[in-house]
């Protein structure tokens, strides 16, 4: 592999190569300029400096006295100060950062007075959305792979119950839009399940889990096809050899067929994970504040639509690109 | 030991082929039977019907008195007693040679890891490749792979061994080492059914030779009878072609 790369790099490049590369750069530059000129035409003011606050922002939190009294003690604890407040209604202690301290020993305090100001970095909406997107994708992938593995094995079963059930599941899921499936999970199944739960006084299930369920069942159908193809790509002789030794269908599957199939399906499986990340952008419609929905909310408050949608796309790109790099690595290792 | 009575088998895909037509043969314990015949004559199908890798359409197959074709028979129990060696070895590529041989012992025979390993090492020594225990199948030559496959089948302590053209996929210089292992096995008194084109092996090792053509058994006889005075025209023609 590496020797091939070296030889490719040392090969002298033709003139058409440089012309093509230059044309590519010019095209990119032209598109970017066109976009910029267009935004200037409509007097759009780019404010990239306003974007970072939606990732992380400094939260100002005021620590207030809950009782009236006098500051009796003020002891240092590293970077923090311990305030001892004593009054007629009792006493209380506060630990606050030293630099935000607003009182001194002996001060008389009424209830509600500010004792200190704490500043803390907090994740902004975009960061929360990004994290939720990652979380939903990971959970949905785990369940999707489990469902898909089971459905894929059922798909190649000789038993019509399993085979037909798997075929029906795969065809229904693959033949209808994900958006509609999300609606069905949330507005139909979700309403039914939550109504029944509330009837028996059990806690409601949050939209997040209906979203995860719709993503998992959706991905499961595609994973099932990947698993089926993986199993069928294993030479028939492997199964025959295992069965001729007296292994049952299940034993041959577990010990001989699946271990080999899984090596082959890992790369396409990771590809399925990538499309799942992108598809999770639909979950905003059932009030799950993943990355796309979070971006939309930030756009409504900040009115910096252009910057934020580019940032949103870029964040997805970072997620998917990282993953596809992992897939490439996996594929290379499989070949080796 | 093995009793095949009036067995029929027809394949419908991709087109209708009568693979077995009224095949009957009885094989005694300790006997080595070599099945020969032109390609497409049904000899492999017959072999694969014996452990129900193919299900015969009609007739009866008994192995040690157990009806193989009866749906109530636990076929996995029968198969555990019937070792099979394939033309294309079919070793498990994701497992080492040792694990190839211990897998079924542990899963089917429920032997402990240590027992299975001991048995495997003994068999690897027997087939002459104990030094390859830790290797993976694709690191071995064809002849070595086939010897591992034989060891894998023997590890189950089968009562019968079926060989489906075990040397047909081998380079010529590796055929000898596999046949040598099979000869030793025959000498130990193993019951064997061997589908092969190795006439030398048939002449030297077989107790009986079965000649098949067009899905039917044309002639059964001792090697002497077979190679010196075959009764049927079809047999003579085949032998004249193959012994040219």
Q: What is the pLDDT of residues A248-264, one digit of tens each?
A: 999 999 999 999 998 88
pLDDT band at A50; cut points 50, 70, 90: confident
Q: Is some CB atom of chain A closer than 8 A to the CB atom of B103? A: yes
Q: Is some CB atom of chain B closer than 8 A to the CB atom of A252? A: no
Show Cβ contacts of residue B40 under 8 Å, excluding neighbours closer than 6 positions.
B17
The edge-to-edge listing of strands for the beta sheet with A108-109 is: A90-97, A80-87, A69-77, A108-109
Task: Say what the pTM is.
Answer: 0.79
Q: What is the pLDDT of residues B82-108, one digit of tens each?
A: 999 999 999 999 999 999 999 999 999
Distance from CA of B232 to the nearest CA of A (A): 35
Q: What is the pLDDT of residues B146-155, one digit of tens each?
A: 999 999 999 9
Residue A310 has phi, psi (to 5 degrees) of: -65, -45
Cα distance between residue B76 and residue B85, in whole Å: 17
Q: Is some CB atom of chain A closer than 8 A to the CB atom of B82? A: yes
Residue A336 has pLDDT above 60, yes or no: no
Residue A1 has pLDDT above 50, yes or no: no
Among candidates A240, A247, A259 on the partner chain, residue whose Cβ is nearest the Cβ of B104: A247
SS3 A233: coil
Q: What is the pLDDT of residues A313-335, one digit of tens each?
A: 999 999 999 988 888 887 777 65
Cα distance between residue A49 and residue B74, in whole Å: 74
Q: Is some CB atom of chain A closer than 8 A to the CB atom of B187? A: no
Q: What is the pLDDT of residues A217-234, one digit of tens each?
A: 999 999 999 999 999 999
Q: Is some CB atom of chain B closer than 8 A to the CB atom of A238? A: yes
Cα Rg of chain A (Å, integer): 29
Spell out which residues of chain B touch residue A248, defining contact as CB-CB under 8 Å: 76
Lowest mean pLDDT among A82-86, A131-135, B42-46: A82-86
Distance from CA of B80 to the nearest CA of A (A): 4
Q: Is some CB atom of chain B closer than 8 A to the CB atom of A263? A: yes
Q: Is some CB atom of chain B closer than 8 A to the CB atom of A240? A: yes
| Cβ <8 Å between B90 and A241 | yes
Q: Is some CB atom of chain B closer than 8 A to the CB atom of A334? A: no
Cβ A173 vs Cβ A220: under 8 Å? yes
Distance from CA of B236 to the nearest CA of A (A): 34
Q: Is some CB atom of chain B closer than 8 A to the CB atom of A255? A: yes
Q: List the structure tokens of B239.
A: 């032998």
Is the C-alpha dihedral spanning A213, A214, A219, A224 positive or negative?
positive
Residue A86 has phi, psi (to 5 degrees) of: -120, 135
| Cβ <8 Å between A238 and B92 | yes
Q: What is the pLDDT of residues B101-119, one digit of tens each?
A: 999 999 999 999 999 999 9
Among candidates B79, B93, B94 on the partner chain, residue whose Cβ is nearest the Cβ of A245: B79
Show Cβ contacts of residue A23 under 8 Å, excluding neighbours closer than 6 positions.
none
Among candidates A247, A248, A260 on the partner chain, residue whose Cβ is nearest the Cβ of B93: A260
E strands, chain A, in order: 56-64, 69-77, 80-87, 90-97, 108-109, 114-123
Helix axis angle for A160-175 and A207-232, nearest 10°, is 120
Q: List the structure tokens of A205.
A: 């299930």
Read off the pLDDT of each residue in B130-141 and give the average, rounded to a whole number: 93
Residue (of A276, A311, A307) closest to A139 by Cα position:
A276
ipTM (interface predicted TM): 0.91
Distance from CA of A331 to the nearest CA of B (A): 17
Q: Is some CB atom of chain B closer than 8 A to the CB atom of A242? A: yes
pLDDT band at A20; cut points 50, 70, 90: very high
Show Cβ contacts of residue A292 under 8 Å, excluding neighbours closer than 6 positions.
A129, A281, A284, A312
Cβ B186 vs Cβ B202: under 8 Å? no
Which of B68, B81, B103 is the mutation pick for testing A, counting most A CBs within 10 A?
Answer: B103
């Amino acid at each position: 592999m590496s020797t091939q790369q070296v030889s490719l790099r040392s090969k002298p490049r033709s003139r058409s190569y440089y012309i093509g590369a230059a044309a590519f750069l010019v095209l990119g530059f032209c598109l970017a300029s066109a976009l910029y000129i267009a935004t200037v035409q409509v007097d759009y003011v780019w404010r990239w400096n306003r974007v970072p606050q939606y990732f992380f922002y400094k939260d100002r939190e005021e620590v207030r006295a809950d009782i009236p009294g006098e500051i009796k003690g003020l002891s240092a604890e590293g970077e923090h100060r311990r305030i001892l407040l004593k009054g007629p209604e009792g006493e209380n202690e506060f630990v606050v950062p030293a630099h935000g301290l607003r009182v001194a020993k002996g001060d008389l305090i009424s209830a509600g007075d500010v004792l200190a100001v704490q500043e803390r970095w907090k994740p902004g909406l975009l960061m929360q959305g990004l994290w939720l997107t990652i979380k939903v994708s990971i959970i949905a992938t785990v369940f999707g792979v489990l469902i898909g593995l089971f459905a894929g094995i059922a798909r190649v079963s000789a038993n019509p119950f399993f085979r037909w059930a798997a075929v029906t599941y795969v065809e229904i899921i693959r033949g209808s839009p994900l958006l509609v499936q999300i609606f069905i999970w949330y507005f139909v199944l979700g309403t039914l399940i939550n109504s029944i739960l509330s009837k028996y006084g059990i806690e409601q299930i949050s939209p997040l889990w209906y979203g995860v369920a719709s993503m998992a069942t959706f991905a499961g159908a595609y994973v099932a096809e990947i698993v089926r193809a993986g199993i069928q790509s294993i030479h028939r002789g492997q199964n025959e050899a295992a069965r001729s030794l007296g292994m049952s269908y299940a034993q041959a599957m577990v010990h001989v067929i699946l271990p080999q199939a899984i090596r082959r399906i890992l790369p396409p499986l990771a590809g399925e994970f990538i499309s799942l990340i992108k598809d999770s952008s639909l979950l905003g419609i059932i009030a799950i504040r993943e990355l796309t929905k979070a971006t939309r909310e930030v756009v409504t408050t900040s009115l910096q639509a252009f910057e934020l949608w580019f940032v949103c796309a870029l964040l997805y790109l970072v997620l998917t690109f990282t993953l596809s790099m992992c897939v490439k690595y996996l594929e290379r290792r499989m070949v080796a | 030991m093995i009793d095949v009575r009036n067995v029929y088998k027809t394949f419908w895909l991709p087109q209708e082929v009568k693979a077995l037509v009224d095949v009957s043969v009885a094989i005694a314990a300790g006997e080595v039977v070599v099945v020969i015949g032109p390609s497409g004559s049904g000899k492999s199908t017959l072999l694969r019907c014996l452990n129900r890798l193919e299900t015969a359409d009609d007739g009866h197959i008994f192995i040690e008195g157990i009806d193989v074709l009866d749906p109530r028979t636990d076929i996995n129990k029968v198969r555990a007693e019937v070792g099979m060696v394939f033309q294309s070895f079919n070793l498990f590529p994701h497992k080492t040679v040792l694990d190839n041989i211990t897998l079924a012992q542990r899963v089917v025979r429920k032997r402990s890891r240590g027992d299975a390993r001991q048995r495997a090492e003994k068999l690897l020594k027997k087939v002459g490749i104990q030094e390859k225990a830790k290797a993976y199948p694709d690191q071995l030559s064809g002849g070595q792979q086939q010897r591992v496959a034989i060891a894998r089948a023997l590890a189950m302590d089968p009562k019968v061994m079926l060989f489906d053209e075990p040397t047909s996929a081998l380079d010529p210089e590796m055929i000898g080492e596999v046949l040598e292992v099979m000869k030793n096995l025959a000498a130990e008194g193993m019951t064997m059914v061997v589908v092969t084109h190795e006439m030398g092996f048939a002449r030297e090792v077989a107790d009986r030779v079965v000649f098949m053509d067009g899905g039917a058994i044309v002639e059964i006889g001792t090697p002497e009878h077979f190679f010196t005075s075959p009764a049927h025209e079809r047999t003579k023609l085949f032998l004249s072609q193959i012994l040219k």
